[in-house]
Amino acid sequence: MENKKENKVYDVITIGAGPAGMTAAIYASRAEMKVLMLEKGAPGGQMVNTYEIENYTGYTKIGGPELSMKMFEHTQALGAEYAYGDVTGIEDQGDIKIVKTATGEFKAHAVIVATGTVNRKLGVKGEEELAGRGISWCAICDGAFYKGKEVAVIGGGNSAVEEALYLAGLASKVTIIHRRDEFRADKVASERAKNNEKIEILWDHVIDSFNQTDGKLSSLTVKNVKTDELSDVECAGTFIYVGQDPVTEMVKDLGITDERGYIEVNHNMETKVKGIYGAGDNTEKELRQVITATNDGAIAAQTAIKYIERLEKQSE
């Protein structure tokens, strides 16, 4: 059966439906643009996997899944189309961009790449084998499996500390393992973790290996970075939060990324290719938060709108 969406030429396609992609869709839709959001997962991006968000303006505290759904409902109320799409590449044909997916192609005058990031792996012994068998990158997804059990959290940023606090409400004990001697998380979250009686903190330690019993995680071998001393930490589950890597493989042939894979944009979210924009955590910038992603999405959409208006004038 013919896919009508594939033959339609959209004004704007957003690749990704996280806070950047959805905000871009909202702004473009309000300008009466024909908008398609392509997403290979659930709307919300990293927000979906975040238990609580406490630094998004207007909400003292809101669940990540709830905020994701509010944003998605907003896009739908304005008429933005939504479709599954695992994007494999973008072909620049001047005024028309071809967005290629594993199941078909879509056309648009402008494309906003808002694919976000994926959680980084440690690359140590046992990690690959035990992924999903005691090792997770999402506390809200898998935390309930470890109710009343001992777990570990690896990392020292906001994600690690906030998810450790969430897990402390489920597990009997949470051990935070951090390679530095202080957290990178904000002071409010850091102090809560330090003062939580269920949380123990191992400063100056890294993971040497993940150990298993009967095919499931049973303990971690950790190394003191100052003394090189090895020791074991018993735990039924481990949650890894050591940073993210950009999801930009689909645009590598366009020459718009830096050496780390982040999309290079100017203050208008423009890349080196006219009509293609970056927005959100996959762009080269200092602060990656929900609120900065929405900011990027709004700017990218506004810039794309002006670009499309110029194209329309040129064609008259």
Looking at residue 2, its pLDDT comes to 46
Are residues 252 and 146 both part of a single domain?
no
Structural domain count of the chain: 2
Are residues 21 and 90 both part of a single domain?
yes
End-to-end CA distance of the chain: 35
Are residues 193 and 248 both part of a single domain?
no
Which of 240, 268, 292 finishes a domain?
A: 240
The mean predicted confidence, pLDDT, of the chain is 95
- Report, as ranges of residue numbers, the positions in the chain whose pLDDT lies below 50: 1-2
Looking at residue 57, its pLDDT comes to 96
- Take residue 132 and report the two structure tokens written for it: 């999903």
DSSP string covering the chain: ---HHHHSEEEEEEE--SHHHHHHHHHHHHTT--EEEEESS-TTGGGGG-S-B--STT-SSB-HHHHHHHHHHHHHHTT-EEEE--EEEEEEETTEEEEEESS-EEEEEEEEE---EEEPP---BTHHHHBTTTEES-HHHHGGGGTTSEEEEE--SHHHHHHHHHHHTTSSEEEEE-SSSS--S-HHHHHHHHH-TTEEEETTEEEEEEEEETTEEEEEEEEETTT--EEEEE-SEEEE-S-EEE--GGGGGGT-B-TTSPBP--TT-B-SSTTEEE-STTBS-S---HHHHHHHHHHHHHHHHHHHHHHHHHH-
Report the CATH number that the domain containing residue 280 is assigned in CATH: 3.50.50.60
Catalytic residue list: 138, 141-142
| Claim: this prediction has a pTM higher than 0.75 | yes
Are residues 29 and 167 both part of a single domain?
no
Which of 200, 217, 240 finishes a domain?
A: 240
Looking at residue 316, its pLDDT comes to 73
Which of 217, 240, 263 finishes a domain?
A: 240
The separation between CA 172 and the C-alpha centre of its own chain, rounded to angstroms, equals 29
Are residues 256 and 114 both part of a single domain?
yes
Are residues 252 and 112 both part of a single domain?
yes
Are residues 52 and 197 both part of a single domain?
no
Are residues 94 and 153 both part of a single domain?
no
Looking at residue 5, its pLDDT comes to 63
Are residues 289 and 208 both part of a single domain?
no
Domain extent for 201:
127-240
Are residues 197 and 292 both part of a single domain?
no
Are residues 206 and 285 both part of a single domain?
no
Looking at residue 1, its pLDDT comes to 39
Looking at residue 49, its pLDDT comes to 82
Are residues 114 and 179 both part of a single domain?
no
